[in-house]
Amino acid sequence: MLYNVVEIQKILPHRYPFLLVDRITEMTPGESIVAYKNISISEPVFQGHFPDHPIYPGVMILEGMAQAGGVLSFKSMGEMTEEEIQSKVVYFMSIDKAKFRVPVTPGDKLVYKISVMKQKGTVWQLEAKAYVDDKIVAQAELKAMIVDK
């Protein structure tokens, strides 16, 4: 484990119920990151999506991949103090080629694998994939920029 949820909250501004990364398990700055979220029936989203057939929404999977990509982007910008990190935020500019392959349900461990496709200055282009039990459930190309708050 590289970062637990408390340490992730020092990097990302997201909080419950919208912090969608539980743990970072691997990271090579400037290259890739592996993170996960445990999907529980107690997630607030399952109250309406869908009460009798709970499916974790694809947009939430995309957001979780984006959040993992945000950690990778921040940690790839060189050493920043906690104060410097707090003064910046990652804005996502585009989500392309999104595909949802398999439904994600309560009890699944959703693993995000994000890799850098291209980086120029504060702009990052990322290849994002999400897995459950080593089977790809979603994928997309994400573009993000780190900006001052």
Which residues are tagged catalytic? 49
Contacts for 76 with CB less than 8 Å, ≥ 6 apart: 29, 30, 116, 119, 124
Q: What is the dihedral of CA 41, 68, 28, 104, to 10 degrees?
A: 40
